[in-house]
Chain A
Amino acid sequence: MAKEKEQKQPLPPVAEWAPALALSWLVPGGGHLLLKRTGRGLLLMASITLMFLCGLMMRGAMFQPESGDLLTTLINTGGFIGDVASGILYLLSQWLGYNQPDMPGAVHDYGTKFLVTAGLLNILAMVDAFDIAVRRKD
């Protein structure tokens, strides 16, 4: 019963949660910092940033959206979304000219996965920041 009531609560105005959500995308952990969840924000920032940097140092490749057969489209578009979800980390790496071709090798492969996973983890952080901003979570 209490859960039903909780679910039926209307969403607060966009102005209340959009800045936290946007900042959360742009700077991993930034949404939490804006919402005064400093400890959690710093942990997210450190983990996601370090993961992304490890991916770069392992010379992982960035995905570009590509069309073709279903699997190619799915992998490349999904990977691209994962990369872009890292926010400023992705943008900076592109602006500074990071352009690693996809090469065979376990370390490169791990690097590519680290880069995508950093973005996917940032999406989880964005969802969490949204939940805090709309008061579904402390």
Chain B
Amino acid sequence: MPKMTLSHFEASMLFALFTSVVLGVVTKRTDRDRLHYGIYTFVCFFVALFGLGWLMYFGHG
């Protein structure tokens, strides 16, 4: 099994991608809603990632 070394950003993006796909597929009833919800969830992860990143940056002074 090859070893994978990712940065925090890459690992978080992968996590967000896989999780968004599954949440999109299982939560809604039409394909259109599923796609919208998947994209919405991914954007939420993305915003939270940058928000928390900047918060930690400023928190460290």
- Could you list which residues of chain A lie within 8 angstroms of chain B, going by C-beta atoms? 40, 43-44, 46-48, 50-51, 54, 56-59, 98, 106-107, 110, 113-114, 117-118, 121, 124-125, 127-128, 137-138
Contacts and interface: CB of A to CB of B under 8 A. Distances in A.
Contacts of B26: 44, 124-125, 127-128
B4 A58 contact: yes
B52 interface: no
Interface of B: 1-6, 8, 11, 14-15, 17-19, 21-23, 25-26, 29
A110 B22 contact: no
Nearest to A138: B29
18 contacts: A40-B25, A43-B21, A44-B26, A46-B21, A47-B25, A51-B15, A54-B18, A57-B1, A58-B6, A58-B11, A110-B8, A110-B11, A121-B19, A121-B22, A125-B26, A128-B25, A128-B26, A137-B29
A57 B5 CA distance: 8
A58 B59 CA distance: 29
Contact of B25 (A44, A107, A114): A44
A98 to B, nearest CB: 8
B60 to A, nearest CB: 16
Given A110-B11, A114-B15, A117-B15, A57 B22 contact: no
